[in-house]
Structure 1
């Protein structure tokens, strides 16, 4: 009886242990199933949120591009709409050409406003000299005509034409694909959408500042606005119409420039977020290393498209903006011989120079930020190699292949076919700052008045 009980007791214990183990395994499998369902629901909610926020930005952004005829031609667009898009771009081109002619006729330059301000001199009786100007027409030299009007107009025109070719001929749906890809991979699509709208808000602010300077200069011009001798008498009765026409063409030119620059900034930001997301997924082991390599190769194609095509119109604008900025600086230090009563003109020209300098240097900073993220991606292989708790189940061969692939990456944002890096950019800004300070110390800045 005791032996039977002893024999039965181990069997009962074994059965109890087996049942407990089954219950534990069942609970662990339930936990795993619950966690997998939870992660799957998170992925589904993130994907649905991405699909929710992506059209909120994409559709208005394409509408903004359509204003100046830079909307991309998609494959599902009808022939009538595509033809209308090309016609709209042609109309914008004609208005830009008219604006260049009006700039020359009125003597308006981007670096200093109206050239007739050089004829304003103080009078001996102490009267208001800011409202007095020479009514005589200004005769331009060949050099001033070429470098003051023709070359900047050609740079602005080439920027618009190259932007049209990039948007309508070279690439059709690359921008839409980039936005969709970034929104799908992003873990915070709502924050991404807000940042993109912030970029557009900054672009709108720059546009208002550019056009505000032009409005102030045109309104403050007291003399006859037409400076071409054989047209001054003919168009004397059309003074108000010529001012309005000049402002409208300047408005379109500034709008085209800001849209081209903001498009480059937005694409650089999307690429930067895309690469940062891929790096984070690799470090957290939420993406397979082979899939990460494929995504990096796709990213290289997008970056190459940015360097080869999207940056071309931006390069033309950089040359024009920096030329305006440096010419305005020399004009302030050398030719701007006003007294204290014209201080408002001095402040306007200083603000104009700073704005052109900011627009000329900002693309370098944006491209430098993309290059920095690309350089950080090269260290991803080393980082996963020393993370034992995340990649403890990964074979050493896979880790070594990922390390070699990441170390061999040579990616950078380029402008003028040159890689842009932050250290060289800071050195260039240091040189420019020293040159400006030297000009201020050595030259007599009489525009600030006498004390």
Structure 2
């Protein structure tokens, strides 16, 4: 399937790795098999580390060459992560910990008084039905649905399409080493976001007074297990954040690979290093991979987007309206502001990534017009072939989708404008006294 790329791939192999490992492999395998060397480099430097990271939360895909024992262990691992997530949701409710504001009780903002009945300086307040439903059940359900749908995509629906995408991009790209560097860059940014989310949880748990159990009768029963509950809460919060970050990072990486793949195809067509008929075939294969991204890979991301943006907007309302700044420390205010910014960033970033893929797809539609005005590149090509390529490129209607809607940069900028105006309006209309009086 990829043999037609062998001659074009051989030109940049000697430059890869500074004439290092991959060039030595070519000498061992013979100069007539550069495609095999590229695929081997892809598996060692990109595919295997990527799958290993997915396997941390049981999201590694099931391949046809995987043994039955390994496949069974993979399903068992995903099941264990599933039950660990359920345990984490129960601990969140028991301790009154919410993703949009930390601990839900007012003990985290009111000072301790001599008349306090608990160690935290405030009374236990029971949850209402609305708070239980929208504060714990719905966000936890969205997080769990995101994980379950990601497991179904990776283990049931995928059928090695991820490996197919990665191998195609490596064979088409003129800079495979850059693809590996970008992989580690994405993973480094993902690790940074994970550490920031976990740092917020650690700070809030440490700053919370002695008792963190919100249910009164359970607090008396587990009075001697406070430290264990804190550690268990932090561990489950870390697992939930890790699941989310890995799912989102996988979506970002696949969007980047699709963008690089289509850009490489467009560049080869404009340079006339690929036949127009082969270019059409490759674009049709790209369309299949894009449909997989829109119809399957984007589903868990959509669940997480709803959860993240809900956390962000609920945290904003809490900051502007419900948060009593007269009784809280400035560091707690700053922590909640940072928490809102993190959730807002995680909620909006998938739209920016999807819009970059849509932009490349729109640029590919102009390829037919561009080759028509290149007389020195396509001077030996018949007008009939040029017109066929022009009609095919102009008929392309491809875009990255979230929530079954095409994501475009102009609509995204308008949404960001609306969000900014809403935030400014809340700040103007509500009495924000975080910095005190002058």
Q: How many angstroms does 1:137 deviate by?
A: 2.0
Gaps of 5+ in 2: 1-5, 17-33
TM-score (norm 2): 0.90
The size of the alignment, in residue pairs, is: 411
2:271/2:377 contact within 8 Å kept = yes
Distance in 2, matches of 1:402 and 1:120, equals 66
Match of 1:411 among 367, 380, 398: 398
In structure 2, the CA distance between the partners of 1:123 and 1:88, relative to structure 1 (3 Å rule), is closer
Distance in 1, matches of 2:402 and 2:220, equals 47
> What's the Cα RMSD here?
2.1
Q: 1:115 maps to which residue?
A: 104
Q: How many angstroms does 1:133 deviate by?
A: 3.5
The equivalences for 1:346-385 within 5 A come to: 346-385=333-372
Distance in 1, matches of 2:9 and 2:64, equals 33
1:137/1:229 contact within 8 Å kept = yes
Match of 1:58 among 23, 27, 47: 47
Relative to structure 2, which stretch is displaced further, 168-177 or 139-148? Answer: 168-177
Q: 1:105 maps to which residue?
A: 94
Relative to structure 2, which stretch is displaced further, 336-345 or 262-271? Answer: 336-345
Match of 2:262 among 261, 275, 299: 275
Q: 1:42 maps to which residue?
A: 11
- Residue 195, structure 1, aligned to residue 182, structure 2: yes
Q: 1:27 maps to which residue?
A: none
The equivalences for 1:46-445 within 5 A come to: 47=34, 48=37, 51-117=40-106, 120-121=109-110, 133-339=120-326, 342-445=329-432
Distance in 1, matches of 2:336 and 2:143, equals 21
Q: How many angstroms does 1:197 deviate by?
A: 1.1
Distance in 2, matches of 1:118 and 1:234, equals 20
Distance in 1, matches of 2:112 and 2:428, equals 28
1:114/1:217 contact within 8 Å kept = yes
In structure 2, the CA distance between the partners of 1:123 and 1:83, relative to structure 1 (3 Å rule), is closer
Q: 1:8 maps to which residue?
A: none
1:380/1:406 contact within 8 Å kept = yes
Distance in 1, matches of 2:400 and 2:83, equals 33
Distance in 2, matches of 1:301 and 1:249, equals 37
Name the SS of the counterpart of 2:105 in structure 1: helix
In structure 2, the CA distance between the partners of 1:41 and 1:61, relative to structure 1 (3 Å rule), is closer
Name the SS of the counterpart of 1:391 in structure 2: coil
TM-score (norm 1): 0.88
Distance in 1, matches of 2:303 and 2:368, equals 38
Q: 1:23 maps to which residue?
A: none
Distance in 1, matches of 2:287 and 2:340, equals 36
Could you list the per-position Cα deviations for residues 399-422 of structure 1 after superposition, in whole angstroms to 9, with x for gaps in the alignment? 000000000000000000000000
Distance in 1, matches of 2:327 and 2:122, equals 22
Larger Rg: 1
Relative to structure 2, which stretch is displaced further, 183-192 or 254-263? Answer: 183-192
In structure 2, the CA distance between the partners of 1:145 and 1:420, relative to structure 1 (3 Å rule), is same
Distance in 2, matches of 1:39 and 1:272, equals 20
Q: How many angstroms does 1:191 deviate by?
A: 1.1
Could you list the per-position Cα deviations for residues 413-444 of structure 1 after superposition, in whole angstroms to 9, with x for gaps in the alignment? 00000000000000000001001001101110
